[in-house]
Amino acid sequence: MGLPFIAVRGLLGSDILKHRPDLLVQENPFNPSEQVVVAQPLRPDVAVFHALKADRWGNAVTPGRRDDLMMARAARRVVVTAEEIVAEPLSLRDAVDDTFLPALDVDVVVHVPLGAHPCGLGTLYDRDDAHLRVYLEAAKTPQTFQAYLDRYVYNVREQPEYWEQVDHENR
Amino acid sequence: MRYTPEELMAVTIAREVRDGETVGVGAVSPIPAAGCMLAEQLHAPHITLIILDCAEYYPFPAGSSELHFLAQRGELDLFFLSGIQFDRRGNFNLHVIGDYYAPTVRMAGAYGSAMLYYMAHRVILFRDQHTPRIFVEQVDFVTAAGITPASVYREGGPALLVSPKAILAWDKAAGGWLLDRVQPGSSVEDIKDSTGFDLRVSTTVQPATPPTEHELRVLRTIVRKKLVPSYPEFVREKIMAR
């Protein structure tokens, strides 16, 4: 949205406000008897989306009608990984039941088949429960999580090496 | 007739839906989703039903923020929320058990709950278990408050708290829960023992009507089919085969 802040209803009396310096309680300037929460904009440095398809101009289609466009616009830099890079330019018509990210809001496109793994992607493929269990177990302590990152992220250079590690785990 | 606790709760919820209402159900909430679909098939065919993550019940062109803005406009009649703790004052907890910075349990958090609890006209809280560790004197973390001062704008708030043992009604004047109806198989004593705070009992407390054969048949046929795409595991494990 690009606004300096927005006012929202609700949240007052919630402990969320004790832990969120970006949410402040203010008087409604148009109705001084009302307290409202004002929220600072969220401005991520990078947002990453995995798309069903993208083109080389940066247009992309992500599965389902979701809030991806809002998130893309909030971020300073947007990376799209895609199952498929199509030759012809994509348009809104290619995203009737999905979400269209226009090239205007996308900075980088990368071709990564099966790139949502271990999560699923729309109706294309399901999540990998076995690997998600490995992840959940690893996420319990900083040490085991570091070992997970080393094995599946830092020490694999190309996709085949990643799948080698995943297949080894699932066996 | 035999039925699962989840089927009992879905039927309980269905009976609370009023025809013509705009009703929202959040993601990963198969029990109220089943209840609202059942109401639509039985006595409430004219509801506008919005279920996040369910293509058949999603009337908006954009993402889930559409439901939140609908509620902010004061146009959402009924919504459903669950939690890991509920307390005497209508507060619920979707965040942590224990200290916030060193919790024993850390949940995903609130998403829009802390706005929806204030801006939906009625909220039905639900939980598939009724124990003193869940129904507590004071929640460890207030995700959203049951009671707020006059300076806080509120379209509505808590209406009912539904469990497999009990239906508690929100007493707005007193600011607390009242045992209103006793679910089949439970008793006032059992419910009081299963509640971690001193639960007041309504002078008009009565047994809840058990699910009827007709309600269960519609739930296990038409509603089951509509639930499968979004909740295949729930249907398999919690909705009995005919």
Interchain contact, B153 vs A66, CB within 8 Å: no
Residue A169 pLDDT exceeds 80: no
Distance in angstroms (rounded) separating the CA atoms of residues B64 and B80: 15
Looking at residue A171, its pLDDT comes to: 58
Interchain contact, A65 vs B119, CB within 8 Å: no
> Which residues constitute the domain of residue B92?
5-238
Give CA angle at B223 (B218, B226), nearest 5°. 155
Instruction: Give, to the nearest 10 degrees, the angle between helix A142-149 and helix A129-138.
Output: 130
Reported as a single tens digit per residue, the pLDDT across A17-32 is 999 999 999 999 999 9
Looking at residue B225, its pLDDT comes to: 96
Q: Answer positive or negative: Cα dihedral of B116, B118, B120, B123.
A: positive
Question: For residue B146, what is the nearest residue in chain A, using CA coordinates?
Answer: A13
Q: What is the ipTM of this complex?
A: 0.92
Question: For residue A15, what is the nearest residue in chain B, using CA coordinates?
Answer: B142
CB-CB: which of B63, B116, B147 is closest to A67? Answer: B63
Question: For residue A33, what is the nearest residue in chain B, using CA coordinates?
Answer: B151
Distance in angstroms (rounded) separating the CA atoms of residues B83 and B86: 7
- Partners of residue B116 in chain A, C-beta under 8 Å: 10
Looking at residue B95, its pLDDT comes to: 96
Count of other CB atoms within 10 angstroms of residue B120: 27
Instruction: Provide the pairing of β-strand B96-99 with B176-182.
Output: unpaired
Instruction: Give, to the nearest 10 degrees, the angle between helix A159-170 and helix A129-138.
Output: 90
Q: How far is A136 from chain B (nearest CA, A)?
A: 13
Q: How far is A15 from chain B (nearest CA, A)?
A: 5
Distance in angstroms (rounded) separating the CA atoms of residues B36 and B229: 16
* CA nearest to B17, candidates B131, B138, B195, B159: B159
Is residue B165 within 8 A of residue B191, CB to CB? The reply is yes
Q: Give the confidence band of A158 by pLDDT, cuts at 50, 70, 90.
A: confident
Looking at residue B110, its pLDDT comes to: 86
Question: Which residue ranges in chain B fall short of pLDDT 50?
Answer: none
Across residues A138-146, what is the average pLDDT?
A: 95
Say how many Å lie between the first and final Cα of chain B, rounded.
Answer: 11
Compute the mean pLDDT over every residue in chain A, rounded to the nearest whole number. 94
Residue A170 pLDDT exceeds 80: no
Is residue B21 within 8 A of residue B47, CB to CB? The reply is yes
CB-CB: which of B64, B114, B147 is closest to A16? Answer: B114
Instruction: Provide the pairing of β-strand B48-51 with B22-25.
Output: parallel
Looking at residue A159, its pLDDT comes to: 87
Give CA angle at B178 (B78, B195), nearest 5°. 105
> pTM of the prediction?
0.92
For B219, the token pair is 């739930």
Reported as a single tens digit per residue, the pLDDT across A41-76 is 999 999 999 999 999 999 999 998 889 999 999 999
Reported as a single tens digit per residue, the pLDDT across B11-60 is 999 999 999 999 999 988 999 999 999 999 999 999 999 999 888 999 89
Q: What is the CATH number of the domain that holds B171?
A: 3.40.1080.10
Say how many Å lie between the first and final Cα of chain A, rounded.
Answer: 47
Count of other CB atoms within 10 angstroms of residue B214: 9
State how many domains chain B has: 1
A127 to chain B, any CB pair closer than 8 A? The answer is: no
